[in-house]
Amino acid sequence: MLALAAFILAGQQNPTGLALPGTAKVKDVVTLSIPSQVHLAGLLGDRYTASERHRLPYVDEDEMLSGFRRRPGKQAWIGEHAGKWLHAASLTYEAHHDPQLRAKMDRVAHGLMQTQEDDGYMGTYPPGKRFSMADDSDWDVWVSKYCMIGLLSYYQATHEAAALQSARRIADLLIRTFGPGGQLFSRAGEHQGMAATSVLEPTVLLYRATGDARYLQFARRIVEAFNEPGGSHIERDLLTTHSVAKTANGKAYEMLSNLVGLAELYRATGEQRYLKPVQIAWNDIVQNRLYITGTGSSMEHWTGDGQMPNGEGADVGETCVTVTWIQLNLELQRLTGESKYLDQIERSVYNHLFAAQRADGAAWCYYTPLDGVRHPGSETTCCLSSGPRGIALMPAFAYASRTDGVDVNLYGASSYNGSLGLRQTSRYPFTPDVDVFVTKGSSTAETLRFRIPAWAQGATVKVSGRSTKSVQPGEYLPVRRVWRAGDRVRLHFPMPVEIVKGSGSNQGYCAVMAGPLVFAADNSLMSGNSTKLRFGIGRGVPKRTGESRIVVDGLIARQGGVLASQKLPLEPFFQAGANNSRYTVWLPTKSALKSPKSLVFGADESSSRIGNVQGSFADGDPFTYSVTFTGKSADRDWYAVDLASPIVAGRIVFRHGETFHDGGWFDTSSGKPEVQVKRAKGGTWETIGALSSYPQTDGSHDPGFNRGQAFEFRCAPTKVYGVRIVGRPSHGDNPAQAFSSCAEIEAYRN
């Protein structure tokens, strides 16, 4: 009876439908939909179907299971993919009960369970390297997390008790390993232990699926592990700094995963100490760390105040971050019922999630820049495994239920079959009108709540032709009545084109929005050789030229600083760059467009060593950078730009990349970095001076530089074919190695 009851209480957790009665001290205000209750059409349906038909069936089963079957796996976190796939596939299977998808789920789940060892171990590492920080063996608990999530999802969708038992055996081994007096979590997972402690989420879910108090006790132990030596101190840091960028090491994906777990633990215990840091983090992300397209992170870390790099080299918007941000908002929306969390989800889904997914669903982007070219792929990586999870969740939150009725959360063509039957007809998010028809009425009064997006100033709602009052953007509009089949609700959300002025690193730039959609300029829509032009935005009034196209008065900067006017077509960000063309969201204003451009912009780049971060340092973006970190020491590093044609340079600028605990800057204890040039094409490097503006530093002490901080060298205007900066790398707290970093090399005539 307990197992059956678990499936009756659908929507009480993530994955939905597992919770036993009495395992939550806090009752959710809203309940997510069972996927089979919702049918998505229109844009939402196109993207959902694309993932269902063209991604999930084609993920390589052997590759997902190979690391478990033939230990060690070929890569440290190769074991996460099976669990992620089972989560997405199980949710999708619950929607349509496709027999071929079910057959593949059975093969993956049973194949995974067959690899479980007698002690409960389910991972990809050989004995002697398990639950440690050995080379290529430092993600074991992280893999355990995703195995548990996958098995619980499969159990929820199929009722196979063996999957639940297998998840319990994983958790029991973790308890024996990391329980009181056991091993430290901080020594079994990357990013100050955050990778390991993110197992908090499925541990709480396992408690709620079984009622076994040992798992709840272990969940509390995991939170205590935040404060271990070398631990993340997530609670402490968020309570004191109120900044995710200043919490632990700022790694976005792992931190969000822990925050989702804290929200689950709050639901199970009712203890505010677990919810408060989650709320602090959410506020900071929304106010300071969130891109206009609804994602976060650069180089997989939260950005600093005012720093929002947009280019490809900045590794913007890791898809794992986008999906886990959506999950965190779902947690908070379920707990509170507040529409602001669905506002964030809407922005993420219609912009960055769909931008990361190729339209046919078969490929995903690892990162999705706001300025650059997309690079979708179909190989098995963490982000390509995460993306379908975000898509698979959409039916669960498009509509939701409360004790007194139904919430309409996502707009667009769709239908719902719950306590009420509903059908939406609309071209939303491209057009402002939404019709919601009641297809199955109620015998007693029920409340339909319509989410009024925060951006929808002047929104109107008519119920059976009668206008309603008190339509407040950023809130739900409740309409309570006995609903009859055939009742119609007409919602109108004005979508004027909005010019958004940038701030911080986007100062002097503007973006364009209409409704929930962010728009972008796509070079493939321009005439002429657009790759050699820079586009900006003028002062004219933008105009719509169709459902998904906007035209603005644009500016073009040609070589030599000549400005010209041209109408600039924009299309939704999620569509831009579909033809492998360059696109940009943030467009410079006239003054920014006229600012001097480095004469080595786009030059060939090289460095003394190929490190583990290889962002461009000749792309005009001071927030992208390259490092020489190889884990080895060196006495000298250099960064060079080479030109096919000569320039005349009288001012050379070196911009610092990033500072790390173990290096990243130049050590000037034996001399300032040298400035070298090539005076002839293919010639030798000649030292013309030192970067005297570079401060006095040593190899071990953090100099406190900001990313992109500029250091300048001046000389008589000189014809050169290349520029190189040479210096001694620093080692920080690890003298066994040394490395440096470079964000930009720039050259100007004066």
Q: For the chain, how far is it from start to end, CA to CA, in angstroms? A: 80
Provide the 8-state DSSP code for 301. Answer: B
Q: What is the pLDDT of residue 531?
A: 53
Q: What is the pLDDT of residue 559?
A: 53
Answer for the pair 122, 144: CB distance below 8 angstroms, yes or no: yes
> Which residues lie closer than 8 Å to 50 by C-beta, 6 or more apart?
357, 359, 360, 361, 362
List residues bridging with 638 in a β-sheet.
726
Q: Which two tokens stand for residue 492?
A: 């109108």
Q: Tens digit of pLDDT for each residue in 650-665?
A: 999 999 998 988 999 9
Higher pLDDT among residues 524 and 675, named by residue: 675
Query: Helix H segments across 582-695?
Result: 590-593
Dihedral angle sign, alpha carbons of residues 214, 220, 226, 230: negative
Q: What is the pLDDT of residue 14?
A: 42
**Mean pLDDT score of the chain:** 93
Q: What is the pLDDT of residue 6?
A: 36
- Report how far residue 163's alpha carbon sits from residue 171's, in angstroms, rounded to the nearest whole number: 13
Residue 237 has pLDDT above 70, yes or no: yes
- Report how far residue 731's alpha carbon sits from residue 748's, in angstroms, rounded to the nearest whole number: 32
Closest to 595 measured CA to CA, from 534, 640, 641:
534
Q: What is the pLDDT of residue 229?
A: 94
Strands (E), 530-636: 534-537, 543-546, 549-557, 563-572, 583-584, 587-588, 604-607, 626-627
Q: Tens digit of pLDDT for each residue in 588-645?
A: 998 888 777 799 988 999 999 999 888 889 988 787 789 999 999 999 999 999 999 9
Q: Tens digit of pLDDT for each residue in 273-314?
A: 999 999 999 999 999 999 999 999 998 999 989 889 898 878
Evaluate the omega torsion of the peptide bond into residue 72 and state whether it is cis, within 30 degrees of 0.
yes
Q: Tens digit of pLDDT for each residue in 182-193?
A: 999 999 999 999
Q: What is the pLDDT of residue 529?
A: 53
Classify residue 685 by burial, with Cβ atoms within 10 Å: 0-12, 13-18, 19+. middle
Average the pLDDT over 30-43 and give the result.
Answer: 96
Answer for the pair 406, 339: CB distance below 8 angstroms, yes or no: no
- Report how far residue 548's alpha carbon sits from residue 183's, in angstroms, rounded to the nearest whole number: 55
- Report how far residue 586's alpha carbon sits from residue 512's, in angstroms, rounded to the nearest whole number: 8
Q: Tens digit of pLDDT for each residue in 532-571?
A: 567 889 888 899 998 899 999 988 876 555 678 889 999 9
Q: Tens digit of pLDDT for each residue in 688-698?
A: 999 999 999 99
Average the pLDDT over 169-179 and give the result.
Answer: 98
Q: Tens digit of pLDDT for each residue in 63-91?
A: 999 999 999 999 889 999 999 999 999 99
The type of residue at 747 is A
Dihedral angle sign, alpha carbons of residues 360, 365, 368, 374: negative
What are the chain's domains?
Answer: 2-403 (1.50.10.20), 407-492 (2.60.40.1180), 497-591 (no CATH), 604-748 (2.60.120.260)
Q: Tens digit of pLDDT for each residue in 400-447?
A: 999 999 999 999 999 999 999 999 999 999 999 999 999 999 999 999
Q: What is the pLDDT of residue 1?
A: 31
**Lowest-confidence range among 330-334, 412-416, 468-472, 697-701?**
468-472
Residue 9 has pLDDT above 80, yes or no: no
| DSSP letter for each residue of 382-395 | HHHHHHHHHHHHHH
